[in-house]
Structure formats: structure tokens, C-alpha cells
């Protein structure tokens, strides 16, 4: 059978929370993934390790939420996919913004 038990609504996978705990309290900015430098062509979601890349491979994320200037390692350093931001924002105190748009 499956080892994926149905989750009660609103529950959060603890492992994703633990993975992303170093980003707690930050404001995350929605945008298109761009590579950090020439030698670093992909990244992974800080929570679930989903792959971010600029290439058109299947199962890669092309946009998501990234750290801003309030992160000690810098803007654009860490990436989190949208679904993880939605799931973990309450638990980690994330605020999120969309570039070019003012929410609300």
C-alpha cells in the first residue's frame, strides 16, 4: 500500500519545517529563478528540495519565492517553491511579496 497517509487539513510536514527553519521570520519575494552564478546552474527548495533551474527539464521549478536583503546570506540566495511557502508561512513567520505588485 502507500506510506503516504492522508494529512489533516492545515497540517505541516515537520521535515519541511525543519529544513527551512533557518529562513524563519524572513520576507520572501516571488520571482523567476535566475542562477546564482555561472557555475551554479540550479538550486533546491529550502524546504522540500524541489529543483529550481532555468532549463526546461521536466519537474523543475522556474519561479518561486526567494530570500531578500533581510537574509544574512543575501537576496536570491535561497529559494522556496510556492506550495511550500503556502504550507509553511504560518509556522515560520514568513511574509511574502510579489515583485511589481502590492498585495491587497
Give the interface with Zn ion as residue ranges (CB under 5 A). 45, 47-48, 50, 81, 84
CB of 43 to Zn ion, least distance (A): 11
CB of 47 to Zn ion, least distance (A): 4
CB of 101 to Zn ion, least distance (A): 22
Asked if residues 67 and 27 have their Cβ atoms less than 8 Å apart, the reply is: no
Nearer to Zn ion, 29 or 81 (CB): 81
Task: Give the residue from 83, 84, 67 showing the smallest Cα distance to 33.
Answer: 67
Asked if residues 95 and 67 have their Cβ atoms less than 8 Å apart, the reply is: no
Nearer to Zn ion, 55 or 81 (CB): 81
Nearer to Zn ion, 12 or 27 (CB): 12
| SS3 state of residue 42 | strand
CB of 18 to Zn ion, least distance (A): 13
67-85: burial string, b at 16+ Cβ within 10 Å, e else: bbeebeeeebebbbbeebb
Nearer to Zn ion, 15 or 70 (CB): 15
Amino acid at each position: 500500500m502507500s506510506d503516504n497517509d492522508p494529512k489533516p487539513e492545515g497540517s505541516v510536514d515537520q521535515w519541511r519545517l525543519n529544513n527551512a527553519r533557518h529562513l524563519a521570520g524572513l520576507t520572501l519575494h516571488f520571482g523567476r529563478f535566475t542562477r546564482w552564478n555561472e557555475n551554479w546552474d540550479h538550486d533546491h527548495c529550502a524546504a522540500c528540495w524541489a529543483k529550481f533551474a532555468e532549463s526546461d527539464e521536466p519537474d523543475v521549478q522556474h519561479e518561486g519565492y526567494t530570500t531578500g536583503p533581510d537574509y544574512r546570506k543575501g537576496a536570491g540566495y535561497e529559494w522556496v517553491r510556492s506550495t511550500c511557502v503556502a504550507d509553511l508561512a504560518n509556522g515560520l513567520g514568513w511574509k511574502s511579496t510579489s515583485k511589481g505588485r502590492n498585495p491587497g
